[in-house]
Amino acid sequence: MLALLAALAGGAKAAYEPTDTDEPNHWRLAVSPYTHHWRYNPEHRPVWAIAIERARSDGWFVGASFFKNSFGQPSSYAYIGRKYEGLLGVAPLFAEWTGGLMYGYKGKYQTKVPLNLGGYSPGFLVSAGWQIDRRMSTQLNLLGDAAVMWQFNYAWR
């Protein structure tokens, strides 16, 4: 298994193209069609998200996401973040973090996120991903201790 992963990583290095961050000041569209919750809860609903980001060539970006939270409530997240490319010496492998302000966990679900005041709460995500080609990438976003979300990204100038 380790040999297979090493071979894939080696092949990825050889076929790797420059990433979306090689272009200064570009846009990214992110779509998250699937979220897996770590623990079953009969109140959980399907979660989806769509985001728009403005990224710089140094890895910093700002963005806004609109999503349906785990309890079916329309929600949003405005954030700043940073992308780190070439993890573990594998060019297409990257990590990201974002931090910002989230809105949407209200009513009986307001205690499902920390520091919630009137539906507003701080948000923080860490992600790991794979740069498929110059414009497209995919990643997994860790949603605290609650879930993991799969995301697809497309970049353009």
| Widest distance between CA atoms in the chain | 52
pLDDT of residue 2: 41
The rounded distance, in Å, linking the Cα atoms of 1 and 6 is 9
pLDDT of residue 133: 96
Question: Strand ranges (DSSP E) for the chain?
Answer: 26-37, 48-55, 60-68, 74-85, 93-103, 120-131, 136-143, 147-156
| Contact present, 37 and 57 (Cβ < 8 Å) | no
pLDDT of residue 24: 77
| Contact present, 47 and 66 (Cβ < 8 Å) | no
Which amino acid is it at 61? F
| Contact present, 99 and 123 (Cβ < 8 Å) | yes
Each of the 157 residues of the chain gets a pLDDT tens digit; together they read 344 344 445 554 444 455 554 567 899 999 999 999 999 999 999 999 999 999 999 999 999 999 999 999 999 999 999 999 999 999 999 999 999 999 999 999 999 999 999 999 999 999 999 999 999 999 999 999 999 999 999 999 9
pLDDT of residue 19: 53
Tokens representing residue 1 in the block: 């298994």
pLDDT of residue 40: 95
pLDDT of residue 117: 97
User: Which CATH code of 2.60.40.10, 3.40.50.12780, 2.70.150.10, 2.40.160.20 fits the domain covering 24-156?
Assistant: 2.40.160.20
The rounded distance, in Å, linking the Cα atoms of 36 and 47 is 9
Which amino acid is it at 77? Y
pLDDT of residue 17: 53
Delimit the domains of the chain by residue range: 24-156
Chain centroid offset of residue 57 CA: 18
Q: Beta-carbon neighbour count of residue 113 at 10 Å? A: 21
